[in-house]
Amino acid sequence: MTGFKVVIPARYASTRLPGKPLADIGGKPMVVRVLEAAALSGASEIWVATDDERVAEAVMSHGGSVVMTRADHPSGTDRITEVADQMGWADADIVVNVQGDEPLIDPALVAQVAQALANDAAAAMATAGYPITEAKDLFNPALVKVVPNALGHALYFSRAPIPWHREGFSASRDALPAGYAPWRHVGIYAYRVGFLRRFSRLAPAPIEQWESLEQLRALWHGETICVVKCGKEPASGVDTPADLEFVRRQFERDADPG
């Protein structure tokens, strides 16, 4: 297994869930639950990147490592770039962005995207996807779709239903046509540190702004993104109070020996 690092961006502010990183899940803050999951991935280093002292204190009180970052970063990618610069990581180092609101993240998936990037010299970053089986998911703009090519590199990401099955959907949009295999994108990323430093200097792309998908900036500027196939549908992150209650129930269930 190739060595890699994990950075967990964790902002205290959240429109729908203020203080989300510190939300209690089974007696521990959410960000600590994410940290514990990431620790099972085999990463050589794991850092929580935050601009909030309350988050930093919670992480350190549970034995985690923290990098304090600026408060004005427009995205988690920019925050990770600051961490790489603060730590003096080499351009060839691989770092995985594990979102701070995904306490149910599969550690094997973290390792999988890191290894996929290490194995693909042409790629600047790696991400993941899995087959869509329900028409309602394909037509849901909240679920991002990705189309990989024969080499496993992303051709495009979109909120629209892609690739479009012309004949199948001219007949019905209630079910997926036979033999049609679209993919849903999973928002986990592995980067080469050198790419992160380039990315921070790239101008935002029109397609990125239209779709509200930051990864499209990389494709727009000619970078290659490797897409690995998940063995199973990944667990959802926490965006709403309902999501938080679902995750709490999952941890309660797992903790119950009965």
Torsion over CA: 147, 8, 94, 221 (sign) = positive
pLDDT tens sequence for the chain (258 residues): 679 999 999 988 776 788 899 999 999 999 999 999 999 999 999 999 999 999 999 999 999 999 999 988 888 788 899 999 999 999 999 999 999 999 999 999 999 999 999 999 999 999 999 999 999 999 999 999 999 999 999 999 999 999 999 999 999 999 999 999 999 999 999 999 999 999 989 999 999 999 999 999 999 999 999 999 997 888 888 988 899 999 999 998 877 655
Q: What angle do CA 105, 159, 250 make, to 5 degrees?
A: 25
Q: Which two tokens stand for residue 253?
A: 């269930």
pTM of this prediction?
Answer: 0.92
Is the omega angle on the peptide bond into residue 163 within 30 degrees of 0, that is, cis?
yes
Distance CA 48, CA 99 (A): 10
Distance CA 177, CA 179 (A): 6
Helical (H) or strand (E) element with 166: helix 166-171
